[in-house]
Amino acid sequence: MNQAQTFHTPHELVRVLGKPAEEFTREDLIHASELLGIQMINFRYLGEDGRLKTLNFIISDKDHLETILTDGERIDGSQLFSSIEAGSSDLYVIPRYKTAFINPFSDVPTMELLCSFYNSDGEPLESDPSYIIRKAHAAFTKETGARFHALAELEYYVISESEPLYPCINQRGYHESRPFSQSENLRVEALRLIAQAGGKIKYGHSEVGCFTMGKTLYEQHEIEFLPQPIEDAVDQLIIAKWIVRMLGEKAGVTISYAPKITIGKAGSGLHFHMMAVRDGVNLMVDESGLSDLAKKMIAGLLECSTPLTAFGNTIPTSYLRLVPHQEAPTNVCWGDRNRSVVVRVPLGWTGGNRMIQTANPAFPPDVPVRMSKQTIEFRIPDGSADVYNLGAGLVVACLHGIRMPGALDKARDLYVDGNLFDERNREKLKSLKQLPGSCVESAQALLEKRAIFESDGIFPASVIDSTARRLEEFKDRGMSERIYGKEDEIRAIVNEFIHIR
């Protein structure tokens, strides 16, 4: 029996077709459409603004469906990407079959597919974010023989009318339960629907951020995924953000992925965990602990941390989050189990299998040998991230570290033991490079190190230029200091970017 059939899967198309999504063919999707009575096909794709775009098709007959799934459709690319001129703007959008899922919100049976962009010659569009990330992954695999796996931690706020019967405790929402977590049901429904759409979820929980302003409740939640190849990790993140927002609309509440809601309260990050996997082995660890490969990848992430903000922290309020003592990084360094650093090495279940056996001494279970779960976590990005280009940038940074002379020395020199802001680390803190403090500074960092991202033909020069140009247009240098303590100005700029990406 196919492995996908041995356990009840929430993914309706996987269940109907009896095969994993990675093996979906055009004929499979036509067959599933007939079985499920699909009446509509939606093409989905990201524009430069990070918003999910839609092209709707009403299916008239089987030939029409076959044509859509084979030929795709043409669109005006100049409306989506500033680097494309109106005089030569026609693009093709072509569906990627493995991304197909059934829309849980549509009134008629509808199949959704993510798409890639192709130019007038039928070649992949060089500036297509989904193509850039595929190129980055291919270069990493060619160099290392390993696949680059990643998972994201999606944090968001649910903004609703406060329920006074069970009020939240200010900044004490971490892992809170109903009835003190007012939006737990929305999060649980999101987990269910994301899994139905093919998302591989690790868990969901309420987060630290919980506060009220007047009669409005701001409640923070997190959904964390399981490691997937980097392209799939980003695809499922895009769909997950859409599903959570759709549930918010349905419930009459506001969902925001904004990096900062107000000063002094927990911001929302978009942390990425990474590992290199070869032949079922996690290369982040070896017999001595964290491997040299992992340390080189960390060195590359640190070397590229300032330009990576151009993809991961794309709006002025991003830099209201990257401040000291808020569990967000401000200085370029790394450490173990440390939330004040750029790269954290979290617990990785490296202590053997004793925990489950001592927790269940009467009936200790047999524990099968599994691939190590050890990851390295990049903690800078937030919900404004340009997720495809961020994912590609993380791969490029890690590849740069693997190739970089002196990478192990750099990793050793930038290691911080314990909390960076402890008194014993005061001298170390003085020696560390700081992250950008504005979009303008982020753009400058990207332009200074653009050669790293343009190497191997991964990032086109036009993407680097357009990214820097958008950041520079904010003219936000010194904004954090300028608006400090000015509640009306802070509220205005937060509201301006409350629905970014």
| pLDDT for position 86 | 63
Distance (Å, whole) CA 53 – CA 161: 30
Q: Is the pLDDT of residue 87 over 80?
A: no
Percent of the chain with pLDDT over 70: 97
Q: Is the pLDDT of residue 28 over 90?
A: yes
Q: Which residue has the higher pLDDT, 491 or 134?
A: 134
Q: How confident is the model at residue 1 (pLDDT cuts 50, 70, 90)?
A: very low
Distance (Å, whole) CA 261 – CA 255: 12
Tokens 């999101």 label which residue?
190
Q: How confident is the model at residue 3 (pLDDT cuts 50, 70, 90)?
A: very low
Who contacts 478 (Cβ-Cβ below 8 Å, separation ≥6)? 437, 438
The runs of H, that is alpha helices, within 226-353 are 230-251, 292-303, 305-312, 318-321
Tokens 């929302």 label which residue?
268
Instruction: Share the mean pLDDT of the chain.
Output: 93
pLDDT tens for 89-139 read 899 999 999 999 999 999 999 999 999 999 999 999 999 999 999 999 999
| pLDDT for position 4 | 45
Distance (Å, whole) CA 166 – CA 173: 13
Q: What is the mean pLDDT of residues 17-21?
A: 96
End-to-end CA distance of the chain: 41
Q: Is the pLDDT of residue 445 over 60?
A: yes
Q: What SS3 class is residue 73?
A: strand
Fill in the amino acid letter for 56.
Answer: N
Q: How confident is the model at residue 85 (pLDDT cuts 50, 70, 90)?
A: low
Q: What is the mean pLDDT of residues 60-79?
A: 96
Quote the tokens at residue 334: 């790394």
Q: Is the pLDDT of residue 6 over 60?
A: no
Quote the tokens at residue 113: 């597919």
pLDDT tens for 292-318 read 999 999 999 999 999 999 999 999 999
Q: Is the pLDDT of residue 403 over 70?
A: yes
Q: In this structure, what is the dihedral angle of CA atoms 278, 283, 286, 291, given to the nearest 10 degrees?
A: 150
| pLDDT for position 368 | 85
